[in-house]
Amino acid sequence: MFETFILLLDSTVRLSTPLLLACLAGLYSERAGIVDIGLEGKMLGAAFGAGAVGYLSGNAWVGLMAGIGVSVGLALIHGFASITNRGNQIVSGVAINFLAAGLTALLGQSWFNQGGRTPTLSQGGRFQNIELPFAEALRDVPVIGPIYSELLSGHNILVYAAFAAVPLTWWVLFRTRFGLRLRAVGENPAAVDTAGISVVWLRYRAVIVCGMLCGLAGSYLSIAQSAGFIVNMTAGKGFIALAALIFAKWRPGYAMFACLLFGFLDALAIRLQGQELPGIGEIPVQFFQALPYILTVILLAGFIGKAVPPKAAGVPYLKERT
Amino acid sequence: MSTGQLPRWVDLGLIPLINLVAAFFVSGLVVILIGESPVEAVQVLIWGSLGFGEGIGFTLFYATNFIFTGLAVAVAFHAGLFNIGGEGQAYIGGLGVAAACLLLDHIVPWWVTMPFAVAGAALMGAAWAFIPGYLQATRGSHVVITTIMFNFIAASLMVYLLVNVIGEAGSMQPETRTFVEGGRLPFLTDIIPGVDFGTAPVNFSLILALLACIGVWLLIWRTRLGYEIRSYGANPDAAVYAGINPVRTIVITMMISGGLAGMMAINEVMGSQHRLLIEFVTGYGFVGIAVALMGRAHPVGIVLAAILFGMLYQGGAELSFEIPAITRDMIVVIQGLVILFAGALEYMFRPTLVRLFASRRAPAAAAG
Amino acid sequence: MNKALHTNELGTSAVPAIELRKINKRFGPVHANKDIDLVVAKGSIHGIIGENGAGKSTLMSILYGFYEADEGDILVNGSPVRISDSKTAIALGIGMVHQHFMLVDNFSVLENVILGAEDSGFLASGISRARTELKRLEDEYELRVDPDALIQDLPVGLQQRVEILKALYRGADVLILDEPTGVLTPAEADHLFKILNVLKDQGKTVLLITHKLREIMAITDKVSVMRRGEMVATRQTAETNMSELAELMVGRSVLLNVEKQPAKPRDTVLAVEGLTVTDTRGVETVKNVSLEVKAGEIVGIAGVSGNGQTELLETIAGIRSATSGTLHIAGETIDLGTRTPNPAEMRQKSLGHVPEDRHRMGLVTRFAEYENAILGYHNDPQYSNGLFLDIAGIKAAAMAEIEKYDIRPPNPILKTANFSGGNQQKIVLAREIERDPTVLLVGQPTRGVDIGAIEFIHKRLIEMRDAGKGILLVSVELDEIRALADRVLVMFDGRIVGERAPDADERELGLLMAGVEGAGA
């Protein structure tokens, strides 16, 4: 039972990682006042970029750089539309999702001729799991052994990076000048402007950070969790991350717990598939798939706490004529 | 600043055209990137979508879907609401259509089943939009986010229902049984004399879609409710001052919007597939956003934009057949670019045009 | 140049803190600032006065680098500078307290103060320096505020203090305040003036933008008057008086002469008893107000804006809910504490309402004129044709109103945003008056309206009164109240603090409006 539980948590960690990276990505963007429903598209673009370049180069790090590059490129399109041109941020996000879905499949087919997927990556093209020190030695110690060796050890570097990004993000937001300004511009851009700070450049930086983190999230899917890109491999994870961001009320610490919760639901669904639960019967897998969205709607409705988004989120900044 | 004055025809005609050209220009670059000729691609696309009866038939079939989802987004726009849940509302709308067809198809002819199917589709779509609308109106939960969530909830719900509840017994496919004659809308090629759309499934739903356009036009610009919707969308404070109930307006608008999206299911389920199956919506709901944006939330514009997107769908299918390197995903790319240029970058070319027109007018004014 | 030198001789002999020469700024067709010259002496409080839309805020935004002037020179301490953004202005020692505060609501005072002046990439050092510095400023200028409080928890007066601290923290020598008392209670305003005097004593230069004559007279050393984008005069405050300034501001004698016969009040058509209104933040904005309006009289409510007049009108009109109170109208008694606000229902009781702010509430500016002509009355049977609106009929009715009220251009299908302020106001008035209501609520009927239209509007209101209607008029322009009203109620801090005849002593009314207890009693 304990073993099973550890295995469940272990897969929770793996499934939460891309959500967490994308969720933190969205956090930077939305905290700066740029609503981003294009997390999904950026992840998908990054997964493709990383998969393709990881395959061609045989080097995971080069692949990762490519993934981040693609994602930042898409983020800049979103920035150009919503910051420079003051376009509708929702519409721009929808466009990014379409572009990524179409281009990855189209180019994948054109370049690799395998129905849109990339060929399987070599060992060097993927991030390998890292054994923490003494993991092997401690394996048989009761309780601590499984927790350390199974749950904490044996993940790839992006998993550790994702969880390290949580305190880092908190520190950046609440302890640095960049974070102060970022939070300010999402609440009241006019205050930032009159304080002599460029709203445009600040928001672009937030959007670029968002692109970088989405790049990590997407790359994780294609060159860490799997060994290559497949068509539409994000399968809605970007939207779950968005739900998690709302669920976390735009706070880094809560974001981690929200993503772990949603990852856990996913792991549980896989675990329980086709199994009868005593007294309940078989719970349809679709229930677990829908649960994150249902929970988020309930939260949004204000039945469990209140999710108040950054005040200026989604509103293009325009100097007012007085 | 993009606040300068431009002649009406520039705002309503030239700017959308320029945006469209920009989207297609970039699409051309993508075609070049994969080593094919954009000129040839355009030729195939236009021929494939308009060059022969069956092509036109398919174009119109797809356009029917887009008219419904485009109208859905447009109606919500007028109330200042962004309903991006057309996808889920259309999907759930399929339940209403299927219910009517499964119950009636053995007993009555199609034209008796149709009103029930229409009502079922509209009711189910409206019901699915009701909750986000109600939460927006009473609890301030942003309708954009809740409708996204409801798209996913709808997807899970429909898979569950089709697999476990209403799927045909003994079938491996998650779908209902196929309807018989009484649950099938006639193909236009069979009812309009002298027209040959080949095997294209364009059906009576197109007429329903055009009627819906007229209905939406009347609703928005000719009824008290439409007046209230537009007032609320343009100035919520003034609407309250005028005695317009915001909760009622938001909820009703969302339900009309959801109902229109739901009616898209008639075309697919009763008009073409003749059964309810999973994922029959596949992005039509989202494309409705692009259609409504391009059509400036006006039914005439929506019909034109829907035909354009219908051409892309059908021409794109033809394209992937003629030039295999350009897969159907190219359509998704073009849609993305159109949404980007016509929607998010709507005003990109405007300042340039304002300057252009200002400089053209200035010498004229000096002369006069 | 000559003029500048001339005014300079009147002031102090030192180099002026700020000098503007021939500043021009256009927004499309609007010429917001025309050839503005201005000299501000160091260590003085310099007022700039003008009506709404005279171009004061634009001029100050140019000085603060929020906009750049199309033409003209700016000199700070005698040397020419180019202020392309707020950053440059701050570096030059110019600070600004905006009309709408530029604060982040969910930040602490400290965080707001250091935003944009953080010292380094990490907050810790900046925060601790700011804490010490705030303590010093507190002692020096008597600007007390809890550095760790969140802005959203502070009252408006303290929020403004944070804005001043922000400017001082950045080392401002010149402080611009844009309509600083608009949101303040009189007590808070007095405190602000004390602070400004302390600042002046410490050698700072203050530029005070306002449209309130009393403030100018109370605190400034010198005053410049703006009218329609132009600087029309500069005076030593001690050598001028309110009526001269008022005349300069509006370009005409402000004594509004409205021809009218004495009122012949009849039955009561509107009565409010014990009305109390609480806003969404839980603040009582209207406190136990009772009043009566009789047929054939105009009751004027005088008061500084923000003393509950808006809430009073909106509650009577059925837009806001109240905590308690009763309303007698059209022979019915309504319990305001329990009713669901419904403006449509109030209209059916023959209550018309010209809202204070036509852009926010009275009009949908995106609509065609004829569509606004039925706003609030769109459910009336005469505008419907079965299920549909009778568009032709509505246009015809709108056209009739256009002719009767001389609304220009006379085109009912023109977008409302394209009408001038005065004509927009006439659209609202025509709509409300032509329904021939028994009671008419009128808020700020002539705000931002040109003189010709003002006279027209005043005449129409008197005509309505003479036709036996009851009018409740709210205006922050005391002159307008005195010219139109038959009885004047003064509102202060949510209460009716007194009733006077319209020809009562202006000073006495002023004291009542300022909340001075027992004024004139």
Nearest to A290 among B156, B331, B336 (CB): B156
How near does any CA of chain A get to the CA of B69, in Å? 15
pLDDT, mean of residues B198-207: 95
What CA–CA distance (Å, rounded) separates C303 from C457? 21
C317 interfacial to chain B (CB closer than 8 Å) = yes
What CA–CA distance (Å, rounded) separates C250 from C253? 8
C153 interfacial to chain A (CB closer than 8 Å) = no
CATH of domain A2-300: 1.10.3470
The residue of chain B with its CA nearest to that of A319 is B1
The 10s digit of each residue's pLDDT in A103-126 is 999 999 999 999 889 999 988 889
Q: Which residues in chain B are closer than 8 Å to A88, comparing Cβ atoms?
A: 343-344, 346
End-to-end CA gap in chain A: 68
The residue of chain A with its CA nearest to that of C90 is A196
Cα–Cα separations (whole angstroms), residue C346 to C299, C321, C340: 19, 13, 11
The two tokens of residue C2 are: 């000559």
Q: Which residues in chain A are closer than 8 Å to C152, comparing Cβ atoms?
A: none
Residue B232 sits at the vertex; the CA angle it makes with C448 and C285, to the nearest 5 degrees, is 60
A91 vs B152: CB contact, 8 Å cut-off?
no
Q: Which helix (H) or strand (E) holds C252?
A: none
The residue of chain C with its CA nearest to that of A184 is C104
pLDDT, mean of residues B286-310: 93
How near does any CA of chain A get to the CA of B158, in Å? 9
How near does any CA of chain B get to the CA of A102, in Å? 5
Those residues with Cβ within 8 angstroms of residue A255's Cβ, 6 or more apart along the chain or in another chain: A20, A23, A24, A27, A166, A244, A245, A248
Those residues with Cβ within 8 angstroms of residue B246's Cβ, 6 or more apart along the chain or in another chain: B137, B232, B236, B239, B240
CA atoms B15, B19, B20, B24: torsion sign: positive
- For every residue of chain B, which 3-state class applies, written as one string? CCCCCCCHHHHHHHHHHHHHHHHHHHHHHHHHHCCCCHHHHHHHHHHHHHCCHHHHHHHHHHHHHHHHHHHHHHHHHHCCCCCCCHHHHHHHHHHHHHHHHHHHCCCCCHHHHHHHHHHHHHHHHHHHHHHHHHHHHHHCCCHHHHHHHHHHHHHHHHHHHHHHHCCCCCCCCCECCCCCHHHCCCEHHHHCCCCCCCCCCCECHHHHHHHHHHHHHHHHHHEHHHHHHHHHHHCHHHHHHCCCCHHHHHHHHHHHHHHHHHHHHHHHHHHHHCCCECCCCCCHHHHHHHHHHHCCCCHHHHHHHHHHHHHHHHHHHHHHHHCCCCCCHHHHHHHHHHHHHHHHCCCCCHHHHHHHHHHHHHHHHHHC
What CA–CA distance (Å, rounded) separates A35 from A29? 7
Nearest of B3, B12, B15, B22 to residue B338 by alpha carbon: B22
How near does any CA of chain C get to the CA of B285, in Å? 29
Backbone angles phi, psi at C384, to 5 degrees: -115, 150
State the pLDDT confidence band at C250, using cuts at 50, 70 and 90. low
C343 vs B234: CB contact, 8 Å cut-off?
no
Q: How far is CA C192 from the centre of its chain?
A: 18
Q: Which residues in chain C are closer than 8 Å to B217, comparing Cβ atoms?
A: none
For chains A and C, count residue pairs whose Cβ atoms are closer than 8 Å. Answer: 79
Those residues with Cβ within 8 angstroms of residue C9's Cβ, 6 or more apart along the chain or in another chain: none
State the pLDDT confidence band at B68, using cuts at 50, 70 and 90. very high
C388 vs B231: CB contact, 8 Å cut-off?
no
How near does any CA of chain C get to the CA of A214, in Å? 25
The two tokens of residue A297 are: 């709607």
pLDDT of C194 > 50? The answer is yes
A102 vs B334: CB contact, 8 Å cut-off?
yes
Amino acid symbol at C409? P
Cα–Cα separations (whole angstroms), residue A3 to A131, C119, C235: 19, 53, 87
The residue of chain B with its CA nearest to that of A84 is B348
Sheet (strand C324-329) strand order:
C284-294, C268-278, C324-329, C332-335
A242 vs B145: CB contact, 8 Å cut-off?
yes
Identify the chains in contact with A, defined as 3+ C-beta pairs within 8 A: B, C
**pLDDT in the model for residue C12:** 47
Identify the chains in contact with B, defined as 3+ C-beta pairs within 8 A: A, C
Q: Which helix (H) or strand (E) holds C374?
A: none
Delimit the domains of chain A by residue range: 2-300
pLDDT, mean of residues B270-274: 96
Nearest of C438, B204, B130 to residue A297 by alpha carbon: B130
Nearest to C387 among B223, B231, B243 (CB): B223
Delimit the domains of chain B by residue range: 1-36+329-357, 63-306
Cβ atoms of residues B210 and B67 within 8 Å: yes
Look at residue C295 and give its three-state secondary structure: coil
Backbone angles phi, psi at A115, to 5 degrees: 70, 25
The 10s digit of each residue's pLDDT in A238-277 is 999 999 999 899 999 999 999 999 999 999 888 887 777 7
How near does any CA of chain A get to the CA of C212, in Å? 18
Amino acid symbol at C30? V
Nearest of C309, C295, C258 to residue C436 by alpha carbon: C295
The two tokens of residue C294 are: 């009789």
**pLDDT in the model for residue B221:** 96
Q: Which residues in chain B are closer than 8 Å to C355, comparing Cβ atoms?
A: 241
What CA–CA distance (Å, rounded) separates A123 from A54? 10
Cα–Cα separations (whole angstroms), residue B136 to B88, B147, B240, B248: 17, 10, 16, 11
Range in A15-29, B79-93, C223-237 the model is least confident about: C223-237
Q: At what angle do helices A199-220 and A39-57 cross, to 10 degrees?
A: 60
Q: What is the dihedral of CA C49, C245, C446, B243, to 10 degrees?
A: 40
What CA–CA distance (Å, rounded) separates B149 from A301? 12
Other beta carbons less than 10 A from residue C386's beta carbon: 7
How near does any CA of chain A get to the CA of C62, in Å? 11
Nearest to A102 among B135, B148, B336 (CB): B336
Delimit the domains of chain C by residue range: 1-93+173-181+203-251, 268-364+438-513
pLDDT, mean of residues C489-500: 91
How near does any CA of chain A get to the CA of C490, in Å? 30
Nearest to C103 among A178, A181, A191 (CB): A191
Cβ atoms of residues B329 and A101 within 8 Å: yes
A91 vs B289: CB contact, 8 Å cut-off?
yes
Nearest of C274, C286, C272, C259 to residue C328 by alpha carbon: C272
**pLDDT in the model for residue A93:** 95
Regarding the domain delimited by C268-364+438-513, which CATH topology (the fold level of the hierarchy) does it fall under? Rossmann fold (3.40.50)
B243 interfacial to chain C (CB closer than 8 Å) = yes
C106 interfacial to chain A (CB closer than 8 Å) = yes
Share of chain B above pLDDT 90, in %: 75
CA atoms C275, C281, C282, C283: torsion sign: negative
**pLDDT in the model for residue C256:** 59
C347 interfacial to chain B (CB closer than 8 Å) = yes
The 10s digit of each residue's pLDDT in B224-261 is 999 999 999 999 999 999 999 999 999 999 999 999 99
**pLDDT in the model for residue B148:** 93
Regarding the domain delimited by C1-93+173-181+203-251, which CATH topology (the fold level of the hierarchy) does it fall under? Rossmann fold (3.40.50)
Nearest to A184 among C86, C104, C117 (CB): C104
The two tokens of residue B278 are: 């999973």
Cα–Cα separations (whole angstroms), residue B240 to C119, C394, C409, C445, C447: 48, 21, 28, 20, 22
Nearest to A110 among B145, B160, B325 (CB): B325
The residue of chain A with its CA nearest to that of B153 is A290
A95 vs B156: CB contact, 8 Å cut-off?
no
The 10s digit of each residue's pLDDT in A307-316 is 788 888 888 8
Share of chain C above pLDDT 90, in %: 61
Find residues 176-235 of chain A whose CB sits inside 8 Å of chain C: 176-181, 183-184, 187-188, 190-197
**pLDDT in the model for residue C11:** 45
Mean pLDDT score of chain C, rounded to an integer? 88
Range in B269-273, C214-218, C269-273, C295-299 the model is least confident about: C214-218
What CA–CA distance (Å, rounded) separates A34 from B287? 23
A195 vs C102: CB contact, 8 Å cut-off?
yes
**pLDDT in the model for residue C210:** 85
**pLDDT in the model for residue C505:** 81
A180 vs C122: CB contact, 8 Å cut-off?
no
How near does any CA of chain C get to the CA of A181, in Å? 7
C360 interfacial to chain B (CB closer than 8 Å) = yes
State the pLDDT confidence band at C5, using cuts at 50, 70 and 90. very low
- Pairing label, strands C439-443, C470-474: parallel
What CA–CA distance (Å, rounded) separates A199 from A189? 6
Nearest to A177 among C89, C104, C122 (CB): C122
Q: Which residues in chain C are closer than 8 Å to B231, comparing Cβ atoms?
A: 364, 367, 375
Range in A197-201, B43-47, C511-515 the model is least confident about: C511-515
pLDDT of B368 > 50? The answer is no
Mutating which of B84, B146, B156, B163 best tests the A interface, going by the most A Cβ atoms within 10 A? B156
The residue of chain A with its CA nearest to that of C120 is A177
The 10s digit of each residue's pLDDT in C103-156 is 999 999 999 999 999 988 899 888 999 999 999 988 888 788 999 999 988 888
